[in-house]
């Protein structure tokens, strides 16, 4: 059982962190000049970048997030406090994301009681909290949410801040909350402009960042002011570009050429780089210095102002690393940007004119609120919609408001009170990341205003008032106000299948619970996930708590969703979705669904689900994240291409010879270390166990001629020659393994290929990507130059303990013990052997003979000398499967990789970075997850169906986002590719969504062939099912005659010798057919044959 989160005194934790200084007021103070003020602000911003929290980062909890933010930014966040105004749907989303991310503290300020509109967006409110009844009906939104928000992360202090109201009448009390202790202020509910301006001004005075964001139906906006000189330490979050030197030409200026087989250098003129491990240039290149680059091509660049013309030899074989420089960004105040916005961030280029129009709409809404005491327009109120039209016309200075705009502003006004879960999730992800930028200085903030809408989901005109009038008590009032009661009923009836209950799955279930998906007698939600909850999940899979660790994700997520909406009908499974589970997820299962949503982390599973959606013609909602990047894809039957229609190229594999003998990157050494781990701690133990437990082991071994000797030698070594009897034996074994791997093997390699060896064409063998290695000298106190790791010591400790664990021996880690044992270890001298073949490349390796002549006799000799399984009754080894999240495993892999890297003069990596590479960890953060699930659920509205409007392909939106830069773009999905066929003289364009559906029952082969003749004027020349040919014109006539009167299912079972599962309804048939008149082959889709 893994430990739960450590209990922390949140108040002391809050005080434990230092306060981050902030930028100052933008106005001159007591004679201070504006330039002096900007310089002072910039200094404050730079000081902020240097601030470091005194608390340690919980790497287990923030594991995946640390690969997005990094330790330095995470510590800055842990030293930052936020003040959040407004706890309707958007406020709750932002608070959740910031708390999961691990800022120091957040104060919630919202004196308003909840209303029915809040229930569709705030996942911690329910109908019992409304003022009409319930034990807690008198509490404010902030008070009702604080306790549950605090449960998300015990490291974050979650408090409430009290004011009588968020109105100008209590402006002084509101402004008094914004003091020097606050890092960032976020406003998430519509307030009158004068109050927002005053709050922004106060933020400037105390050096806090300011964010104002609101959601009004399917429209939203966000505004950021981080001061006049905000320092961004890393503008995009991308890893620094790295290249390998082919040669550095000693010239003026010096010219660098990188190895082309390692890819382009990716540098731009003005970038800075450092060098490491460069040979030659008479030592003139300073590895501690940063050099400015002039890019001259994809594989070449010059070093600006660097004269190396006096050097006698060129530079070779070094490493180049880009140095990322901080940038300073200036922002407009809200007051300035409201009247003259310098930037309006785009999100959908199909609506290039939308941002300025929405800017006008929100200004009109501000005026409406000023006129009506802070109140927003009511749903379906034509009079108030007309008033908004007039306000837009009066405020329109750029002649952008037209008749088409009038329809849009009516929708905007009518739905302005609505708090929709998908919009809150999407904007909560975007704004949540802006808060983290303000706290950490990492990534480029939104400069000024960002507007976002999903008006494609709206009806053509306003719905009747009775269709959108809220009840005042329903949790779906917000959706009713925007889409009407009829669509809400359809949402309740949805029968969805959610594949995956991780980060995206949790967010999806939360959104669906608030939307009402599957919340009626006719509706249902199915969710499946094989995985159990780990501590690292808790920082982004927000339905889980520490007491859920080791429980199934799908079960806990389903229970949490029902806790948010007790009406949700949901079934959880702990099964993968694959061919082997079609007895569970088969024809009868998919036949009842209305849609499928994937929340998966691998392409293979997505492709399988995609094929199911194609076959059953079900819409599929797909999304994925990679750190701050995310994508969504909506797949609609017949309208869009399917997920598998376009695929990324496969990842390049590392050549075997590179791994074995010629590594040049840390990725190579880490893969080698992982492979070695699997061989020595997993495979060896499994081989021994197989030998001891398999009665006819020798016979089965005969079928593995290529690996037989390796298997037997590993058994002989593991079971007899090197079998430890004590932990001391494990330590000795580890020391000898060090010598074998990092000393002796290198001596042998250099014996075969000396440092000065020249190839047949006259070039040096050790050149280009081949790095000449050097043996290591064991030193228990050695620390590597790059990562600062004690790799020698770590290798011995980790290897000895893993070895001991494999044999059931108790291990230990105290250094004194290892020192005392190691000083008595006798390491035999090594002499390189003659006649050892080492392939110089993969081509040579392929041509090597696979086995020696006397392999069988040698194998028999080893088998004879092994102890009989009966002599070792009850003995069993413990195979150790590599797990990136087990520190002992990573200690070994990191040390093993780094030692090999040191052999080849490759820069080493620390444990954190090695874990990411070796474990192929996908960076993840809650903000991106929230955004993509919000975007997906907006598409779900469209799939359910916009009222009184038939949607075309251009109404649907795929998305690609990068919250770091920030970049958001929506685009129309691609249509499916079409194939032309001529059937009965008429042209038919079919796509991957089409099939020829035969619903005639389990008819005979003869009846099927006649059906195609009469219905399609086609003669079948070949018919198959999977790999089985059921009929062909060249088949044995007797066999054809036998099959003609047989039902199709019987023909298939007679060939495959397998019965159909009881839940299978369809058989897929592939056929080749010719037109009866022209005798030309006609290309047609597969046949979907329903036999039950």
Query: If 0-12 CB within 10 Å is exposed, 13-18 middle and 19+ buried, where does residue 489 land?
Result: middle
Helices 708-716, 855-865: inter-axial angle, 10-degree rounding = 30
From residue 20, give the alpha-carbon distance in Å to each of 9, 66, 214, 778: 21, 20, 27, 45
Core vs surface per residue 993-1029: b (16+ CB within 10 A) or e: bbbbebeeeebbbebbbebbeeebbbbbeebebeeee
Catalytic residue among 98, 109, 657, 784: 657
Which residues, other chains included, contact 954 with Cβ-Cβ below 8 Å and sequence gap of 6+? 350, 456, 972
Is residue 231 within 8 Å of residue 45, measured between CB atoms?
yes
Q: How far apart are the first and last CA of the chain?
A: 47
Nearest C-alpha neighbor of 637 from the set 666, 616, 651? 616
154-160-163 Cα angle (round to 5): 170
Cα separation, 1030 vs 1076, whole angstroms: 21
Helices 421-440, 503-515: inter-axial angle, 10-degree rounding = 140
Half-sphere exposure at residue 499, Cβ-oriented, CA atoms within 13 angstroms? 27
Cα separation, 945 vs 483, whole angstroms: 10
The DSSP H or E segment spanning 155 is none
Cα separation, 559 vs 252, whole angstroms: 69
The pair of structure tokens assigned to 398 is 């750029």
Residues belonging to the chain = 1092
Core vs surface per residue 887-903: b (16+ CB within 10 A) or e: ebbbbbbbbbbbbbbbb
Cα separation, 255 vs 268, whole angstroms: 15
Give the residue carrying structure tokens 């086609």: 1018
Helix %, strand %, coil % of the chain (to 5): 40, 15, 40
Task: Judge whether 98 counts as a catalytic residue.
Answer: no
The three-state secondary structure class of 514 is: helix
Which residues, other chains included, contact 286 with Cβ-Cβ below 8 Å and sequence gap of 6+? none
Nearest C-alpha neighbor of 670 from the set 654, 650, 652, 649? 654
- Parallel, antiparallel or unpaired: strands 184-187 and 209-216: parallel
Cα separation, 99 vs 90, whole angstroms: 14
Alpha-carbon Rg of the chain, whole angstroms? 34
Determine the number of helices (DSSP H) and then strands (DSSP E) in the chain.
Answer: 36, 34
Nearest C-alpha neighbor of 272 from the set 248, 318, 240? 240
Cα separation, 745 vs 904, whole angstroms: 12
Look at phi and psi of residue 251 and say left if phi exceeds 0, alpha if psi is from -120 to 50, else beta.
Answer: beta
For residues 946, 948, 954, 958, the Cα torsion angle rounded to the nearest 10 degrees is 0
Half-sphere exposure at residue 536, Cβ-oriented, CA atoms within 13 angstroms? 16
Nearest C-alpha neighbor of 118 from the set 150, 92, 146? 92
Give the residue carrying structure tokens 């109120």: 381
Q: Residues with catalytic annotation?
A: 657
């Amino acid at each position: 059982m893994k430990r739960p989160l450590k209990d922390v005194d949140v108040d002391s934790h809050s005080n434990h962190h230092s306060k981050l200084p902030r930028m100052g007021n933008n106005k001159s103070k007591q004679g201070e000049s504006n330039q002096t003020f900007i310089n002072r602000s910039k200094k404050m911003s730079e000081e902020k970048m240097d601030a470091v929290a005194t608390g340690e980062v919980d790497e287990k909890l923030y594991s995946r997030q640390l690969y997005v933010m990094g330790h330095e930014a995470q510590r800055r966040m842990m030293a930052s406090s936020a003040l959040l105004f407004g706890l309707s749907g958007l406020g709750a989303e932002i608070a959740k994301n910031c708390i999961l991310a691990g800022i120091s503290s957040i104060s919630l300020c919202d004196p308003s009681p909840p209303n029915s509109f809040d229930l569709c967006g705030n996942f911690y409110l329910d109908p019992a909290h409304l003022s009409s009844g319930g034990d807690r009906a008198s509490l404010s939104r902030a008070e009702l949410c604080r306790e549950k928000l605090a449960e998300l992360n015990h490291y974050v202090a979650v408090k409430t801040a009290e004011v009588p109201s968020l109105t100008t009448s209590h402006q002084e009390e509101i402004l008094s909350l914004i003091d020097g202790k606050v890092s960032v202020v976020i406003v998430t509910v519509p307030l009158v402009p004068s109050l927002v301006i005053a709050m922004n001004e106060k933020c400037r005075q105390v050096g806090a960042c300011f964010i104002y964001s609101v959601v009004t139906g399917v429209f939203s906006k966000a505004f950021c002011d981080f001061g006049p000189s905000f320092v961004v330490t890393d503008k995009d979050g991308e890893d620094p570009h790295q290249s390998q030197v082919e040669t550095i030409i000693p010239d003026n200026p010096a010219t660098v050429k990188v190895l082309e087989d390692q890819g382009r250098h990716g540098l731009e003129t003005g970038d800075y780089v450092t060098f490491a491990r460069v040979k030659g240039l008479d030592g003139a290149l300073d590895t501690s210095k940063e050099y400015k680059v002039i890019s001259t091509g994809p594989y070449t660049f010059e070093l600006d102002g660097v004269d190396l013309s006096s050097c006698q030899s060129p530079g070779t074989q070094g490493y180049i690393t880009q140095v990322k420089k901080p940038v300073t960004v200036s922002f407009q105040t809200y007051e300035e940007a409201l009247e003259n916005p310098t930037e309006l961030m785009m999100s959908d280029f199909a609506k290039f004119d939308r941002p300025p129009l929405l800017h006008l709409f929100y200004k009109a809404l501000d005026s409406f609120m000023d006129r009506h005491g802070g109140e927003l327009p009511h749903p379906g109120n034509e009079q108030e919609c007309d008033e908004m039209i007039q306000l837009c016309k009066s405020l329109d200075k750029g002649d952008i408001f037209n008749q088409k705009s009038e329809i849009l502003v009516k929708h905007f006004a009518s739905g302005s009170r609505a708090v929709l879960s998908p919009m809150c999730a999407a904007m909560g992800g975007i704004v949540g990341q802006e808060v983290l930028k303000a706290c950490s200085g990492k990534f480029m903030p939104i400069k000024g205003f960002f507007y976002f809408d999903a008006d494609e989901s709206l009806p053509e005109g306003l719905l009747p008032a009775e269709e959108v009038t809220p009840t005042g008590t329903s949790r779906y009032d917000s959706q009713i106000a925007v889409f009407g009661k009829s669509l809400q009923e359809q949402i309740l009836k949805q029968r969805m299948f959610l594949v995956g209950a991780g980060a995206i799955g949790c967010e999806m279930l939360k959104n669906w619970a608030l939307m009402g998906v599957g919340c009626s007698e006719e509706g249902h939600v199915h969710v499946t996930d094989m995985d159990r909850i780990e501590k690292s999940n808790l920082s982004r899979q927000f339905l889980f708590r520490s007491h859920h660790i080791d429980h199934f994700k799908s079960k806990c997520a389903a229970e949490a969703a029902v806790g948010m909406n007790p009406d949700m009908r949901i079934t959880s499974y702990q099964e993968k979705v694959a061919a082997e589970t079609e007895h569970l997820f088969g024809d009868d299962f998919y036949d009842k669904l209305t849609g499928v949503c994937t929340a998966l982390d691998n392409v293979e599973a997505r492709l399988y689900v995609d094929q199911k959606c194609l076959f059953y013609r079900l819409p599929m909602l797909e999304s994925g994240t990679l750190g701050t990047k995310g994508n969504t894809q909506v797949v609609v039957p017949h309208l869009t291409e399917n997920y598998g229609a376009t695929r990324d190229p496969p990842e390049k594999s590392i050549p075997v010879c590179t791994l074995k003998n010629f590594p040049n990157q840390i990725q190579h050494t880490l893969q080698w270390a992982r492979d070695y781990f699997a061989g020595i701690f997993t495979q060896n133990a499994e081989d021994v166990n197989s030998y001891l437990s398999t009665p006819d082991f020798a016979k089965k071994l005969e079928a593995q001629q290529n690996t037989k000797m390796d298997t037997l030698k590993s058994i002989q070594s593991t079971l007899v020659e090197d079998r430890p009897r004590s932990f001391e034996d494990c330590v000795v074994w580890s020391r000898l393994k060090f010598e074998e791997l990092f000393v002796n093997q290198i001596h042998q390699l250099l014996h075969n290929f000396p440092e000065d060896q020249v190839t047949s064409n006259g070039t040096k063998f050790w050149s280009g990507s081949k790095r000449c290695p050097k043996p290591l000298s064991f030193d228990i106190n050695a620390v590597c130059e790059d990562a600062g790791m004690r790799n020698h010591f770590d290798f011995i400790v980790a290897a000895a303990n893993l070895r001991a664990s494999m044999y059931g021996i108790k291990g230990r880690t105290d250094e004194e013990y290892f020192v005392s044992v190691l000083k008595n270890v006798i390491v035999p001298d090594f002499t390189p052997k003659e006649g050892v073949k080492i392939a110089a490349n993969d081509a040579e390796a392929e041509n090597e003979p696979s086995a020696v002549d006397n392999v069988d006799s040698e194998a028999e000799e080893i088998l004879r000398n092994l102890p009989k399984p009966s002599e070792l009754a009850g003995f069993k080894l413990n195979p150790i499967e590599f797990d990136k999240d087990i520190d002992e495993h990573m200690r070994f892999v990191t040390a093993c990789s780094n030692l090999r890297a040191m052999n080849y003069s490759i820069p080493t990596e620390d444990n954190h970075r090695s874990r990411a590479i070796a474990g192929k960890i996908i960076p993840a953060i809650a903000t991106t997850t929230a955004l993509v699930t919000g975007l997906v659920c907006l598409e779900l509205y469209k799939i359910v169906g916009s009222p009184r409007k038939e949607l075309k392909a251009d109404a649907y939106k795929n998305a690609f986002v990068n919250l770091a830069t920030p970049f958001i773009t929506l685009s129309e999905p691609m249509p499916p590719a079409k194939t032309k066929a001529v059937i009965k003289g008429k042209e038919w364009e079919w796509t991957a969504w089409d099939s020829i559906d035969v619903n005639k029952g389990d008819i005979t082969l003869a009846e099927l062939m006649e059906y195609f003749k009469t219905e399609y004027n086609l003669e079948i020349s070949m018919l198959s099912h999977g790999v089985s040919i059921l009929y062909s014109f060249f088949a044995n006539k007797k066999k054809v005659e036998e099959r003609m009167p047989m039902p199709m299912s019987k023909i298939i079972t007679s060939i495959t010798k397998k019965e159909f599962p009881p839940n299978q309804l369809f058989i897929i048939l592939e056929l080749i057919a010719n037109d009866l008149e022209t005798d030309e082959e006609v290309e047609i889709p597969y046949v979907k044959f329903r036999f039950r």
